[in-house]
Amino acid sequence: MSAAAPMKLYALMRGRFGFLNWWPADTKFEILAGAVLTQQTSWKNVEGALANLKREHALSLESIAHINITKLEQLIRPSGFYRQKAARLKGICSYILGNYGTLERFLSQNVTALRKELLLLNGVGEETADSIVLYAGGKPVFVIDAYTRRAMHRVAGTSENISYGELQGFFGSRVRRNVRLYKDMHAQFVELGKRYCKAKPVCEGCPLNSVCMYFRSKKQGENY
């Protein structure tokens, strides 16, 4: 792919989907909680869990840190793996509250320090950490998810086994560091994955057909 290719993909997707105001949340803490709860489940299920927490006035750093673990498990049950996620979310909140006092103070670290510390917390992998850094922290780090990985393999021919860091570096070296741009580009790939670039691709009408290696090979009857 040429150096300008990611921006070409972005222009094509945005031309179809428009600007996408993602991540849906009222507070930075809701973003953090959502990033943990969305692991291994759909966002629809996460919305159910977040709604339960809001109803119980428990969607805050202090509330989660002090809530009874059994009650927390039941509140977030719609998100799946609720015992594991309850322990992780409670542990993260207790750590931040105990070491920083507020979420704002924790998020005020520079991007490198914040990302490094998040990755030390139980249950926080690279995608979760980067989602928190970008959407809650407002710092420029490109989020790689399954939608982006799948689309880039099909459209641009990147390896199916490419590492998180390598694919993130691919975007980081070709897309200017800008929080608004990073957020919207990530959201565009999510929308593409939901509508077209599914596990079983729906190529008809996809905005990336004009540049997609998979679509071109499919039209030519080749094995991809």
Q: Which two tokens stand for residue 70?
A: 């059994």
Q: Of all helices (H) and strands (E), which one includes residue 93?
A: helix 82-100
Average pLDDT of the segment spanning 47-54: 98
C-alpha to C-alpha distance for 194 and 203, rounded to whole angstroms:
12
The amino acid at residue 26 is: D
The answer to whether the CB of 89 falls within 8 A of the CB of 108 is no
Q: Which two tokens stand for residue 85?
A: 């996620």
Please give the pLDDT value at position 224. Answer: 57
Distance set, CA 122 to CA 40, 98, 142, 184 (Å): 16, 15, 22, 28
Query: What residue ranges define each of the domains in the chain, with the CATH number in brackets?
Result: 5-20+143-217 (1.10.1670.10), 28-136 (1.10.340.30)
In the predicted structure, residue 30 carries a pLDDT above the cut 90: yes
Q: Which two tokens stand for residue 53?
A: 């927490």
Q: pLDDT (tens digit, 9 = 90+) per residue, 92-142?
A: 999 999 999 999 999 999 999 999 999 999 999 999 999 999 999 999 999
Q: pLDDT (tens digit, 9 = 90+) per residue, 128-186?
A: 999 999 999 999 999 999 999 999 999 999 998 899 999 999 999 999 999 999 999 99
The answer to whether the CB of 27 falls within 8 A of the CB of 54 is no
The amino acid at residue 68 is: N
Helices 146-156/5-17 angle, 10° precision: 110
